[in-house]
Chain A
Amino acid sequence: MSDPAPAGAAGLFVLGATHHSAPIAVRERLSPTPAVAAAVQADLKALESLREFTMVSTCNRIEFYGVGVQPDTAVRVQEIFCRHQRFEPAEFDRFRLRLHGEQAVRHLLDVASGLDSQMLGETEIFGQVKDAYAAAQNAGHTGAVLNRFFQKAFQAAKYVRTHTAITEGQISVANVAVDLARDIFGELSAARVLLLGAGEIGEKTARAFQSRGATAISVASRRLERAMELANDLRAFALPFWLAPVKLPGFDIVVCATAAPDTVIQVAAVTNAMRQRPARPLLFLDLALPRDVDPQVADLQNVFLYNLDDLAKIAEQNLRAREAELAKCRALLDERTGSLWSSLAPRLP
């Protein structure tokens, strides 16, 4: 819980709960449905002491940015949210983030830049905050203060992204896998992806491939009906499991994520596949434990093999590189926080 400013301060504030203080089970309970979110915003609009507000709701945070004219406005906002969300205010206090004035400014700049994210430097939050602000603006919930506040925060976030390496290198296993595929094949639109195993990690990786342009995805699972189900979800093709090694020459990227106790992809099958496509590289992403692909496959010419440990190591290296950029990002945001706050303060009630 952060509450460095006096509870009764008026003016600019942020109120909410984030992954820093609230565990996932709490965040699930704090996440409003669209109907609840609409009801909360309708009541906030009617709150006389609240001049402007924007609600940001993601899987890692629920936050209200507001401009109040009374010292207790933030408390009123909390009451309204807890009432609609059926969340005990006393319990909310335990996880609550409440910042005022310049600290609130700094918080939004950190959030929009991805510095406050669970995955440091991720860029998705920028779009989420932008969408939340656009919705608030369209609904007439923002005014001169929040409009300037958010627009300047977006500019600062873009500046940080451009002038530091905070967003460089992927830090999730699925995205690292996709980056590796791009290092080998470039654009993924023409790459043919085979997903072996229809479990959660395989699905996540397949979706990461889709989000980066891969369209030709096939799913093979020991349970054909499960493969068909996932293929249907992904708008991909389903393949009987026994056919996968035979069809290997037709694929560029093989994501292995089965629960098989033994090796699924043998050297002989890959050697045979490469004979039919010698000039085209073949990438194996072995996300299974125990491993699905015989490690000797890595010795074959034009074949690349990465297992879960390899991917995790790259993700960790990228994270360390991002962390090394933190001081630089903070210095850049320090400057902007000061100047933004001095331009906002005179406009506040």
Chain B
Amino acid sequence: MLAGLTDRSWLWIAAACYLAGLVSGTVSILRGRRQSGPAINGFIAAGYVLQLIGLSLRGEAVRACPLGNFFELFQFTAWSAITLYFVIGVTFRSSTLGYFTSSLAAVLTLVSLAIPAWDATRRANLFGGNPWIELHAALALFSYGVFALLALTSAMLLFRHHSLKSKHVGGWFSFLPSILELDHISLRLLWAGVILLTASLAMGANYWLRDTALVHLPKLMVTCGVWAIYALTLGLRLRGLLISKRFAWVCAAGFLAVLLSLWPVNTNHTPAPPPSAAQP
């Protein structure tokens, strides 16, 4: 608890901030106006700080990185995407990316908060007290945040591409960044995501090779599958075989694979009640 509020309360307020970014951006679009960068970034920054407080409280309670159930996985993925947005948003100079990021964060956090069952139990002794396994998990989830942002830039690229091919370039489409900028940023995000996930898997593999019973087969296959999708996408993109609209479609669809992979990842361990459930 901090200031009389539980971790979930802080996360609810954070989600409300992201939602405010979504609403203000949508209102701007409906009015045919460019989104206000400071306003969107203000909502995102406020949400980010509040979410950090909520996740810190949860982390303090579980004495580990909060990655023990669906709720925590969704929250951490959204937080990772926002972290990346602050790095990229500065160079990208696009309030439209802020709007998309705020929307995604609002959806991920609100969905995770709206389903109490996702936070009813959490995996016990998740990392076995091993900081390297904890880092492996955090890196993997952070790479998922990168892929979330990649899905957003890919969606923006698809919108931009559609507007230019169909010759409807006015209105809201005119607020989108250029095709080339979106393509460059997507490629950089793909590189970052693949590097982070590779590092995470390499770290995990080190322990798995010592004890193969440590990880259930479905989790292993799904995680390696996600890595293979993105690694293959990167390879094809670099060779010029997967470009433009097709590249964007694969990157956007890849994030669905990421979200679906959270199920086998989460069912790898025996559940236990969440620490906040025991708290008043």
Whether B167 pairs with A186 at a CB distance below 8 angstroms is no
B245 at the A/B interface (Cβ < 8 Å)? Answer: yes
Whether B165 pairs with A304 at a CB distance below 8 angstroms is yes
Known A182-B178, A186-B181, A281-B180; judge A306-B167 contact (CB<8 A): yes
Closest-CB distance, B37 to chain A (whole angstroms): 15
Known A183-B160, A183-B179, A186-B181; judge A278-B240 contact (CB<8 A): yes
Nearest to B182 among chain A residues (CB) is A186
B243 at the A/B interface (Cβ < 8 Å)? Answer: yes
B228 at the A/B interface (Cβ < 8 Å)? Answer: no
Pick from B160, B165, B237: contact of A279, CB below 8 A. B237
Specify which chain A residues have a CB less than 8 angstroms from the CB of B167 in the assembled complex.
306, 310, 313-314
Whether B170 pairs with A279 at a CB distance below 8 angstroms is no
* Cα A229 to Cα B176 with chains together (Å): 38
Interface bits A304-322 vs B (CB < 8 Å: 1, else 0): 1010001001100110010
A80 at the A/B interface (Cβ < 8 Å)? Answer: no
* Cα A314 to Cα B240 with chains together (Å): 32
A185 at the A/B interface (Cβ < 8 Å)? Answer: yes
Whether A318 pairs with B170 at a CB distance below 8 angstroms is yes
- Per the 8 Å Cβ criterion, residues 155-193 of A in contact with B are 165, 168-169, 179-180, 182-186
Closest-CB distance, A220 to chain B (whole angstroms): 24
Whether B243 pairs with A183 at a CB distance below 8 angstroms is no
Specify which chain A residues have a CB less than 8 angstroms from the CB of B179 in the assembled complex.
183-185, 281
Pick from A184, A279, A318, A321: contact of B178, CB below 8 A. A184
Nearest to B178 among chain A residues (CB) is A186
* Cα A321 to Cα B172 with chains together (Å): 13
* Cα A183 to Cα B243 with chains together (Å): 18
B183 at the A/B interface (Cβ < 8 Å)? Answer: yes
Nearest to A185 among chain B residues (CB) is B180
- Per the 8 Å Cβ criterion, residues 169-188 of B in contact with A are 169-170, 174, 176-181, 183
Pick from A165, A279, A304: contact of B240, CB below 8 A. A279
Whether B170 pairs with A321 at a CB distance below 8 angstroms is yes
Nearest to A314 among chain B residues (CB) is B169
Specify which chain A residues have a CB less than 8 angstroms from the CB of B181 in the assembled complex.
186
Specify which chain A residues have a CB less than 8 angstroms from the CB of B164 in the assembled complex.
180, 183-184, 304
B32 at the A/B interface (Cβ < 8 Å)? Answer: yes
* Cα A165 to Cα B160 with chains together (Å): 21
Nearest to B177 among chain A residues (CB) is A186
Whether B170 pairs with A314 at a CB distance below 8 angstroms is yes
The interface size of chain B toward A, counting residues with CB under 8 Å, comes to: 24
* Cα A185 to Cα B184 with chains together (Å): 11
The A/B interface has a contact count, at CB < 8 Å, of 58
Nearest to A165 among chain B residues (CB) is B32
Specify which chain A residues have a CB less than 8 angstroms from the CB of B169 in the assembled complex.
179-180, 183, 314
B244 at the A/B interface (Cβ < 8 Å)? Answer: yes
* Cα A291 to Cα B181 with chains together (Å): 30
Specify which chain A residues have a CB less than 8 angstroms from the CB of B237 in the assembled complex.
279
Known A165-B32, A186-B178, A279-B183; judge A317-B170 contact (CB<8 A): yes
* Cα A30 to Cα B181 with chains together (Å): 48
Interface bits A287-313 vs B (CB < 8 Å: 1, else 0): 000000000001001101010001001
Which secondary structure dominates chain B's binding surface? helix
* Cα A313 to Cα B179 with chains together (Å): 22
* Cα A279 to Cα B245 with chains together (Å): 11
Interface bits A275-291 vs B (CB < 8 Å: 1, else 0): 00011110000000000
- Per the 8 Å Cβ criterion, residues 306-345 of A in contact with B are 306, 310, 313-314, 317-318, 321
Whether A302 pairs with B178 at a CB distance below 8 angstroms is no
* Cα A98 to Cα B232 with chains together (Å): 72
Nearest to B163 among chain A residues (CB) is A183
* Cα A145 to Cα B32 with chains together (Å): 39
Nearest to A306 among chain B residues (CB) is B167
Specify which chain B residues have a CB less than 8 angstroms from the CB of A280 in the assembled complex.
180
Nearest to B187 among chain A residues (CB) is A279
* Cα A3 to Cα B177 with chains together (Å): 49
Specify which chain A residues have a CB less than 8 angstroms from the CB of B241 in the assembled complex.
278
Known A182-B178, A186-B178; judge A279-B32 contact (CB<8 A): no
Whether B243 pairs with A186 at a CB distance below 8 angstroms is no
Specify which chain A residues have a CB less than 8 angstroms from the CB of B160 in the assembled complex.
183
* Cα A64 to Cα B266 with chains together (Å): 78
Interface bits B31-73 vs A (CB < 8 Å: 1, else 0): 0110000000000000000000000000000000000000000
* Cα A306 to Cα B169 with chains together (Å): 12
Nearest to B181 among chain A residues (CB) is A186
Specify which chain A residues have a CB less than 8 angstroms from the CB of B33 in the assembled complex.
165
* Cα A2 to Cα B118 with chains together (Å): 75
Whether B243 pairs with A185 at a CB distance below 8 angstroms is no
Specify which chain B residues have a CB less than 8 angstroms from the CB of A186 in the assembled complex.
177-178, 180-181
Whether B170 pairs with A301 at a CB distance below 8 angstroms is no
Known A180-B164, A185-B179, A310-B167; judge A169-B174 contact (CB<8 A): yes
A–B Cβ pairs within 8 angstroms, 13 of them? A165-B33, A169-B170, A169-B174, A179-B169, A182-B178, A183-B163, A184-B178, A186-B181, A278-B241, A278-B243, A279-B237, A301-B243, A304-B165
Interface residues of A (CB under 8 A from B): 165, 168-169, 179-180, 182-186, 278-281, 298, 301-302, 304, 306, 310, 313-314, 317-318, 321
6 closest Cβ pairs, A-B complex = A186-B178, A278-B240, A302-B244, A186-B181, A184-B179, A279-B243
| Given A182-B178, A183-B169, A185-B178, 19 additional A-B pairs, CB 8 A | A165-B32, A169-B174, A183-B160, A183-B163, A183-B164, A183-B174, A184-B180, A185-B180, A186-B177, A186-B178, A186-B180, A186-B181, A278-B240, A279-B240, A279-B244, A298-B165, A302-B244, A306-B167, A317-B170
